[in-house]
């Protein structure tokens, strides 16, 4: 049975949806209804976010990198800038979290902090940051500043980057803006703080030029795809994405993340663990399988996701979600629709109503920020707290 301190006991599932490309399957863009000619059209992304919002999905993610998508020939190639996409969608959405991928390798924490704070302001507190690293030689050549690091070095740098970015978010106290037209004082300079970070990878003085984000800190998301990434996630992440093919494997990873977070002095319940779930949803299992067979025929290769893959009905998927949540295997799922247009609608109109009926999923957003939706507290400002 789950312990009394385990997040699974509240029977509330969290859902994220990855809106990258035309879907998780590399051949999805070749199918009818994929809107292949609109893949780089912001209106298409706005429609997808509206659909996810209708299902009270906690957050949507937009992937990004310094190079073209990996994988076999025939997949989607090319990307829009994820942070700019999120900024455009911010005033055109409500309730739902907007989480772009921003890579820490070959970038500066000052620019990262400013971009994400801007999205948080534009969305009134619904920004997140999916942290990524780059270890490819092509990526390094594109930027042209230094050689590519190895994986452990890249994640060590990422951990320091997250710390610096959060310090820059704190460099303005919440009430630093005075805006007193009578005296001409716009800010209280005593409430702007130098971060004075001098570390292994970065030396940053601060303060930021952007006021503190509405959430204090936008939600930090880390994919736990390696031991190095999991170590950074346990110390810094609000949401940790993991890959697991079985309930037992997922439960073991969740316990590992929670134990590592506790070792860093964090409350494990402040770390949300989401399992990547690849979805092919149909009116019956045979139809779902037939659609997957079609996609694999177009791609010419078998679809290997390295995580749980659902090929079946909305009812089966809702039952799986309930089983994994109550077993303490996960706090929810990052759903990766095989075909965005088809499987996102099936998730929102089929799976979500079943979860709501079971009392496992919200019918409306709680509060106005992404932290509200996830049940995460707003972080205190470290500089204001130190003065107090």
Question: Could you write out the DSSP letters of every residue in 362-375?
Answer: -SS-SSSSHHHHHT
Question: Distance of alpha carbon 116 from its chain centroid, rounded?
Answer: 13
Query: Is the CB of residue 214 less than 8 Å from the CB of residue 370?
Result: no
Residue 287, annotated ligand binder?
A: no
Query: Who contacts 218 (Cβ-Cβ below 8 Å, separation ≥6)?
Result: 116, 117, 119, 120, 127, 128, 129, 169, 370
Three-state secondary-structure class, residue 277? strand
Residue 118, annotated ligand binder?
A: no
Question: Distance of alpha carbon 159 from its chain centroid, rounded?
Answer: 16
Cα of first residue to Cα of last residue in the chain, in angstroms, is 42
Query: Is the CB of residue 308 less than 8 Å from the CB of residue 275?
Result: yes
* Phi and psi at residue 11, to the nearest 5°: 55, 25
Three-state secondary-structure class, residue 167? helix
- For the record, the structure tokens of 120 come out as 């948080």
b (16+ CB within 10 A) / e for 228-244: bbbbbbbbbbbbbbbbb
Alpha-carbon distances of 362 from 7, 13, 58, 90, 258, rounded to whole Å: 15, 8, 10, 22, 24
Query: Who contacts 71 (Cβ-Cβ below 8 Å, separation ≥6)?
Result: 26
- Name the nearest CA neighbour of 321 among 365, 364, 277, 266: 277
DSSP code, position 198: E
Q: Is the peptide bond before 43 cis (omega within 30 degrees of 0)?
A: no
For the chain, how are helix, strand and coil distributed in percent, rounded to 5? 45, 15, 40
Residue 101, annotated ligand binder?
A: yes
Binding site per annotation, positions for FMN: 64, 101, 226
Binding site per annotation, positions: 64, 101, 226
């Amino acid at each position: 049975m789950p312990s009394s301190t385990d997040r699974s006991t509240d029977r509330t599932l969290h859902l994220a949806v990855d809106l990258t490309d035309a879907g998780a399957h590399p051949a999805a863009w070749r199918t009818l209804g994929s809107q292949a000619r609109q893949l780089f059209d912001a209106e298409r992304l706005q429609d997808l976010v509206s659909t996810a919002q209708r299902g009270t999905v906690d957050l949507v993610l937009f992937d990004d990198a310094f190079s073209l998508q990996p994988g076999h020939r025939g997949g989607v190639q090319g990307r829009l800038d994820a942070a700019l996409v999120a900024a455009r969608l911010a005033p055109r959405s409500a309730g739902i979290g907007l989480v772009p991928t921003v890579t820490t390798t070959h970038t500066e924490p000052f620019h990262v902090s400013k971009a994400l704070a801007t999205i948080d302001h534009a969305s009134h507190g619904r920004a997140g940051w999916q942290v990524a690293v780059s270890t490819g030689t092509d990526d390094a050549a594109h930027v042209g500043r230094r050689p590519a690091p190895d994986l452990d070095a890249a994640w060590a740098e990422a951990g320091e980057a997250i710390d610096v970015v959060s310090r820059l978010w704190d460099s303005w106290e919440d009430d630093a803006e005075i805006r007193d037209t009578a005296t001409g004082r716009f800010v209280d300079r005593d409430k702007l703080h130098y971060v004075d970070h001098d570390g292994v990878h970065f030396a940053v003085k601060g303060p930021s030029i952007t006021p503190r984000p509405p959430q204090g800190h936008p939600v930090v998301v880390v994919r736990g795809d390696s031991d190095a990434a999991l170590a950074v996630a346990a110390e810094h992440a609000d949401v940790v994405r993991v890959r697991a093919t079985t309930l037992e494997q997922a439960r073991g990873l969740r316990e590992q993340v929670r134990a590592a977070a506790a070792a860093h002095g964090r409350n494990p319940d402040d770390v949300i663990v989401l399992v990547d779930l690849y979805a092919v949803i149909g009116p019956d299992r045979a139809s779902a399988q037939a659609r997957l067979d079609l996609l694999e025929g177009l791609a010419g290769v078998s679809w290997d996701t390295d995580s749980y893959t659902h090929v079946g009905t909305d009812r089966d998927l809702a039952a799986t979600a309930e089983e994994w949540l109550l077993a303490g295997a996960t706090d929810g799922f990052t759903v990766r629709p095989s075909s965005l247009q088809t499987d996102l609608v099936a998730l929102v109109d089929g799976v979500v109503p079943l979860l709501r009926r079971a009392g496992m999923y919200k019918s409306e957003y709680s509060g106005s920020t992404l932290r509200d939706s996830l049940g995460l507290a707003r972080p205190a400002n470290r500089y204001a707290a130190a003065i107090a």
